[in-house]
Amino acid sequence: MRAFTTLTGIAAPMPLANVDTDKIIPGRFLKTIQRTGLGKHLFANMRYEDDGSEKPDFVLNQEPYRQAEILVAYENFGCGSSREHAPWALLDFGIRCVIAPDFADIFHNNSFKNGVLPVKLPREICEQLMEDARLGANSRITIDLERQVVVRPNGEEIPFTIDPFRRHLLLNGLDDIGQTMQHAPAIDGFEAKQRAAQPWLYDAKV
């Protein structure tokens, strides 16, 4: 996984609540067996006409937002299915940070695992950032994960909180399977105990 330290980029405004994962990446694009290549289908139903042409009023079809690396949205972002295709599609498009008042749990987890940083900020602040984002190319927002601040184009710094363990993994681009494997002896011990107490969990044959 690519490490996330700081990011300065164009932010796309998406003033919608409940942006669900079917909006982010509709079900018909889940047939891939790869993690990459989904960027072209990001927000497909909102982004393209039935004939495949672009809907000009959709934000990511406009300059400078085609180059957006940050997305600003409202409540309950990423609700719906567990599809990790949602952060894969965002990442493949180039978006590495989503700022919203809150996130659905599974999407929140999935984002971290792919180096997409979800930043939770109160609604009023998201509204300010939405205004910043609307100003376009000269209005870049910075996310500094090291210092845990979002820097507005006017220089104002807004602190955010984040789970320290996840921050550590992101800053260093660490894979958490490797981390967990260090606990292998404890896992062995757990299994031995559980097997004695609940043998039926170990002998079911399909």
Residues near another protein, by CB under 8 A = 16-18, 20, 22-23, 26-28, 30-35, 45, 50, 74-76, 79-84, 87, 102, 104-106, 109-110, 113-114, 163-165, 175-177, 179-181, 183-184, 186-187, 189-191, 194, 198-202, 204-206
Nearer of residues 155 and 200 to another protein, judged by Cβ:
200
Nearer of residues 84 and 132 to another protein, judged by Cβ:
84
Structure tokens at 33: 């067996």
In this structure, the strands spanning 11-14 and 70-73 are: parallel
Nearer of residues 6 and 179 to another protein, judged by Cβ:
179
Sheet holding 157-159, edge to edge: 6-9, 141-144, 149-151, 157-159
Cβ at position 137, least distance to another protein in Å:
26
Cβ at position 22, least distance to another protein in Å:
4
Question: With contact defined as beta carbons under 8 Å apart, do 74 and 101 qualify?
Answer: yes
For residue 157, what are the CA distances in angstroms to 13, 36, 77, 142, 152? 19, 33, 23, 9, 6
Cβ at position 196, least distance to another protein in Å:
12
Structure tokens at 18: 């409940």
Cβ at position 62, least distance to another protein in Å:
19
Nearer of residues 10 and 43 to another protein, judged by Cβ:
43
Which phi and psi (to 5°) does residue 54 adopt?
-75, 145
